Amino acid sequence: MEYINLLNKITAVDDDPFFLHFIEDKFQEIGISNINLYSDPNAGLESLIVKSDFNDIVLVDLQMPEIDGIAFLKLLGDAGYKGQVIVISGFESKVLSMAESIAKQRNLAILGQLTKPFSAQQLNGLVDRALSRILSAENAELAATIGNYDPDIFEINEETLFPVIQPQIELGSENIVGYEILSRLKAQDGSIIYPSQFISDFEENGRISEFNKVLFRSSFARMAKYDNVKFSMNLSMRDLNSHRIVDDIDSLLNEFGVQPSRLTIEITETCLVENLLTAQEIATRLRLLGCSLAIDDYGTGYSTMKQLTEFPFQELKIDRQYISSCHTHEENQIIIRSTVEMAKALGMRVVAEGVETKQELAFVKEAGIEIVQGYYYSKPYVWA
């Protein structure tokens, strides 16, 4: 297996010694040895939380007598475990999916789920996903050490901004039909600071508008160098509270001579719920400018289908938590198919985010999704 040397500590926790050896055998079948086996969940937990790294993997059985799998995942999350997690159970897929969802909310890096008994091929697929995440720039943030970063005094300017773009692919032709602009910052020591590490900081300390002014100006200047190329970018939750953002975008479009039809503004679903009326006003004003609108991370918030009809959206982006391993998750398949059907009935195009594997690609294509974004085609890269 390529890049197998990138994996650090692999641990399996299951109260059944027989099944622990079954897990060990399956790893050996895919060329991996030296698995740490724990039939005592307390001992396993103690070993895992002493020191962890994103390159670690732990397999956790959900049904254990002393500490059940959900309690175990909670303790892992509370301890700040950095490794990647695979949940295992003999229960039906819905229980596994709930456990996976709970673990994500505990800020654990979930690789996926395995139903007892599983095959070496199924295990190999999840290990491949782990290696892909380790190699990817986006997930490297989870193990990165940030130098010289204080959100209150960090200088936000053209030199410290480090924008990257990720292509969106039309499946029929496999042509690039647009790019999403993704923001990064660069610390004084050259280390990259990712959105999950600074956006919430800037929202809390009131510097998000300062950041967005630099990001938007830099992005529009770059967009002006391209002809007929479409780009999309996000608005933060704080931006949706102020109509000034519409005037700022209008001014930049005019200053750099960028056609509004080349810009798609992505608004997250949770923003719409928390600022419904203001978000409606801002969204409508942006459409009147000629920009396109997308609802981002669909399925992660609490908006209703009715609310979708109350906004002038033209695009719906299905969150990658539903795309991940969708070819094996029956519930996710149902959600994806129904979402695609609903969006098309409302005249909206659908984008699948986070497509990483050939199997995921095959399913979203079969489900009727026409545009995808994810590491299967390209990870984000520097926007010159």
DSSP string for residues in 244-313: HHHHHHHHHHHHHT--GGGEEEEEEHHHHHHTHHHHHHHHHHHHHHT-EEEEEEETSS---HHHHHTS--
C-alpha to C-alpha distance for 94 and 333, rounded to whole angstroms: 12
Start-to-end CA span in the chain (Å): 34
- Do the domain assignments include residue 143? no
177 found inside a domain: yes
For the cut 60, the answer to whether the pLDDT of residue 88 exceeds it is yes
**C-alpha dihedral sign at 282, 288, 289, 292:** positive
Query: Quick check: is 246 in a domain?
Result: yes
Reduced to 3 states, what is the DSSP secondary structure of residue 185? strand
Q: What is the rounded distance in angstroms from the CA atom of residue 156 to the CA atom of residue 161? A: 7
pLDDT tens readout for residues 14-24: 999 999 999 99
**Number of domains, the chain:** 2
Q: What is the pLDDT of residue 143?
A: 42
Say yes or no to pLDDT of 132 above 80. no
In whole angstroms, give the CA distance from residue 69 to residue 47.
Answer: 16
Nearest CA among 362, 360, 355 for reference residue 378: 355
The answer to whether residue 230 sits within a structural domain is yes
In this predicted structure, the answer to whether residue 305 has a pLDDT above a threshold of 70 is no
Q: Which of 1-5, 162-166, 314-318 has the lowest mean pLDDT?
A: 1-5
Domain shared by 310 and 168, yes or no: yes
Say whether the peptide bond before residue 65 is cis (omega within 30 degrees of 0).
no
The pLDDT, as a whole number, for residue 382 is: 84
**Helical segments of the chain, H only:** 17-29, 41-50, 69-78, 93-105, 120-135, 137-140, 195-205, 208-223, 244-256, 269-274, 276-289, 305-309, 320-323, 330-345, 358-366
Give pLDDT, residue 362: 94
Give me Rg for the CA atoms of the chain. 22
For residue 26, give every residue at least 6 positions away whose Cβ sits within 8 Å of its Cβ, in sequence order, or none. 118, 119, 120, 123
Q: Is the pLDDT of residue 334 over 60?
A: yes
Q: Are residues 156 and 36 in the same domain?
A: no
Whether residues 159 and 232 share a domain: the answer is yes
Output the pLDDT for position 139: 47
Of 144-158, 171-185, 317-331, the least confident = 144-158
Domain-embedded: residue 95: yes
Residues 293 and 252 in one domain: yes
The pLDDT, as a whole number, for residue 383 is 83
Strand partners, 234: 266
Can you give the pLDDT at residue 144?
Answer: 46
User: Model confidence over 189-233: pLDDT tens digits?
Assistant: 777 788 877 887 888 888 888 998 999 999 999 999 998 899 999
Least confident window among 98-107, 257-266, 342-351: 98-107
Sheet holding 109-115, edge to edge: 36-38, 10-13, 57-61, 84-89, 109-115
According to the model, what pLDDT value does residue 169 have? 96
Which residue among 108, 135, 162 closes a domain? 135
Final residue of a structural domain among 135, 167, 186: 135
In terms of domains, do 129 and 222 share one? no
In a domain, 142, yes or no: no
Residue 141 has pLDDT above 60, yes or no: no
332 and 228, same domain (yes or no): yes
- Long-range (24+ apart) CB contacts under 8 A made by 255-258 are 255/220, 256/220, 256/221, 256/223, 256/224, 257/224, 258/220, 258/223, 258/224
Question: What contacts 24+ positions apart, CB below 8 Å, involve 26-29?
Answer: 26/118, 26/119, 26/120, 26/123, 27/123, 29/120
pLDDT at residue 323 tops 70 = yes
Residue 10's nearest CA partner among 18, 20, 2 is 20
Give pLDDT, residue 307: 66
Q: In this structure, are 131 and 158 located in the same domain?
A: no
Last residue of a domain, one of 100, 135, 170: 135
C-alpha torsion 362→368→373→376, nearest 10: 10
Closest C-alpha among 267, 183, 243 to residue 217: 183
- Based on the fold, state whether residues 365 and 299 are members of the same structural domain: yes
Mean pLDDT of the 36-43 span? 94
Question: How buried is 190 (Cβ within 10 angstroms: 0-12 exposed, 13-18 middle, 19+ buried)?
Answer: exposed
In a domain, 326, yes or no: yes
Give the CATH number, domain containing residue 214.
3.20.20.450
Beta bridge partners of 36: 11
CATH of the domain at 88: 3.40.50.2300
Reported as a pLDDT band with limits 50, 70 and 90, residue 270 is low
β-strand partners of 315: 294, 349
Judged by phi (left if over 0) then psi (alpha if -120 to 50, else beta), residue 140 lies in alpha
Q: What is the pLDDT averaged over residues 277-305?
A: 82
Q: Are residues 125 and 155 in the same domain?
A: no
Domain that holds residue 154: 148-382
Whether 211 and 87 share a structural domain = no
Residue entry with tokens 């039906």: 92
- The verdict on 97 and 168 lying in the same domain is no
Is the pLDDT at 140 greater than 60? The verdict is no
Flag the least confident range among 92-106, 166-180, 218-232: 92-106
Tens digit of each residue's pLDDT (9 = 90 or more) over 347-377: 999 999 999 888 999 999 999 999 999 988 9
Alpha-carbon distances of 375 from 137, 169, 195, rounded to whole Å: 10, 11, 18
Identify whether residues 116 and 225 lie together within a single domain: no
Q: Is residue 15 part of a domain?
A: yes
Residue 319 has pLDDT above 90, yes or no: no
